Amino acid sequence: MIEGALVALILVAVLIGIFDLGLVLFIQQTFANRVRSAVRYGVVNPYDPTVITNMVLYGQPTAGAAGVFGLTAAMVSVTRTGVGTNDQRIVVAISGYPYRFFSPWIGGPFNGRSIMLACLWKRPSGFQPPANPNRSSKALRSGSRPMKAR
């Protein structure tokens, strides 16, 4: 009886630890994907830091109800360097995002590690973004004509 209780206690502690680790990895990967999609959006469309921040927070260009996993606009930074040169970069970073462990032994809120992604793109000289936002992203990245539907 006592051996079963000790084994059950250890088993529950290990399961809670696995759940906590999985949650941290899921939140970090979700934020990394949001940053990646926001940078892609910023490269393909005209630069607007508010819209890029909305892409990180809400997954869409317009503001939504609440940021994913308690993320706020203050935790997201969007910068652009090298404007007007062939070394233009958009840098999107998330820092100080919160997460909580479910483990009773490691209680309290923690801040996650910073997630940063920079994208360098070189546009041909004289390239102007198209006025039609419905063109495919591949055609926009290459600066070529729209792709034909197959």
SS (H, E, C) 67-133: CHHHCCHHHEEEEEECCCCCCEEEEEEECCCEEECCCHHHCCEEECCCEEEEEEECCCCCCCCCCCC
pLDDT for the residue 144: 45
CA proximity to 111, closest of 87, 134, 94: 94
pLDDT of amino acid 132: 57
CB 38 within 8 A of CB 58: no
Helix (H) or strand (E) holding 54: helix 49-58
Contacts of 84 (CB under 8 A, 6+ apart): none
pLDDT value at residue 81: 86
Indicate the DSSP class of residue 58: H
Residue 68 and residue 34 in contact, taking contact as beta carbons nearer than 8 Å: yes
Domain ranges of the chain: 2-125
Rounded mean pLDDT for each run of 10 residues along the chain, 150 residues in total:
90 90 89 91 89 91 83 90 82 85 74 79 60 52 47
pLDDT at 131: 64
